[in-house]
Amino acid sequence: MAEKAPVIAIDGPSGSGKGTIARRVAEALGYHLLDSGALYRLTALSAARHGVALDDADGLAEVARMLDVRFDSDEAGGERIWLEGDDVSVEIRTEKAGAGASTVAAIPAVREALLERQRAFQRPPGLVADGRDMGTQVFPSAAVKIFLTASAEERARRRHKQLKDKGLDVSLAALSRDIEDRDRRDTERSVAPLRPAEDARILDSSGQSIEAVTQTVLDWVAEL
Ligand code: DC
């Protein structure tokens, strides 16, 4: 059997900068990119559209299995995400979608339903996968596993700026509370909780520029 394409797994809590770093690293290496959080956000969004309640585990798993989604980019290289033919690129980044994602993500049947869809992203020449359980569950034999963190204050500030840049208005205090709640839910859930893989390297991005963090990841990849 042909050797599988290498995976760089980048896990960590909300606002740690995973999304930005994963995108930069994928661009630098010419690798594919998996934004696994988007799949949980899309599941929550699709459930809301179809009137499936957030406590209906079977219904949510069915929604996850049937997700009709397309990942794309616009001319400026910005992300474009389509759900059932509609552009939901901005809608899935709202805190509401994030909280819904964190809720559906605690349901084992939903995680199971999304597993193969995520693994299908592993294609040559390689994949950068961003999430909470990339190194522990989805790609346990990833070539490089990184757990990216930052202080809670810095994560709230970054998220605030990111949302503002997208034209979404939300208070920093409310955002800090949301992030704390979400961290707690993601860390304490019984299935695939947020934690570093045993063989992950921890990278604290507090006070570091995007360029510096990207370079550290690329240096670790080059050590392979
Ligand atoms: O990375 P994000 O903020 O887009 O993720 C949204 C939620 O989805 C997050 O709070 C927890 C969940 N998630 C998960 O459980 N497992 C992943 N691999 C990615 C995200």
Q: Answer whether 16 contacts ligand 1 (Cβ < 6 A).
A: no
Tell me the CA–centroid distance for residue 99 and ligand 1, in Å: 9
How high is the mean pLDDT of the chain? Answer: 93
The angle subtended at Cα 112 by Cα 62 and Cα 80, nearest 5°, is 70
- Ligand 1 centroid to residue 149 C-alpha, Å: 14
* pLDDT tens for each residue of 28-63: 999 999 999 999 999 999 999 999 999 999 999 999
Residue nearest to atom 18 of ligand 1 (CA): 131
Taking 50 as the pLDDT cut, the residues of the chain under it are 1
CA angle 194, 195, 200 (to 5 degrees): 130
Q: How far apart are CA 31 and CA 128, in angstroms?
A: 7
The pLDDT of residue 54: 93
Cβ–Cβ < 8 Å for 34, 10: no
Q: CATH number of 7-222: 3.90.1150.10, 3.40.50.10320, 3.30.465.10, 3.40.50.300?
A: 3.40.50.300
92 CB less than 6 Å from ligand 1?
Answer: no
Residue nearest to ligand 1 atom 20, measured at CA: 37
Pocket probe for ligand 1: among 21, 33, 40, 94, the residue whose CB has the most ligand atoms within 8 Å is 40
Say what the pLDDT of residue 1 is: 45
Q: Can you give the three-state secondary structure of 147-188, one letter per residue?
A: EEECCHHHHHHHHHHHHHHCCCCCCHHHHHHHHHHHHHHHHH
Which helix (H) or strand (E) is 44 found in, with range?
Answer: helix 36-49
Tally of residues, the chain: 224
Cβ(189) – ligand 1 distance below 6 Å = no
- Measured from the CB, is residue 132 less than 6 Å from ligand 1? yes
Q: Give pLDDT, residue 20.
A: 92
The answer to whether the CB of 135 is under 6 A from ligand 1 is: no
The torsion angle over the Cα atoms of residues 19, 179, 149 and 7, rounded to 10 degrees, is: -40
Distance 217 CA to ligand 1 centre (A): 21
Task: Report whether residue 131 contacts ligand 1, using a CB cutoff of 6 Å.
Answer: yes
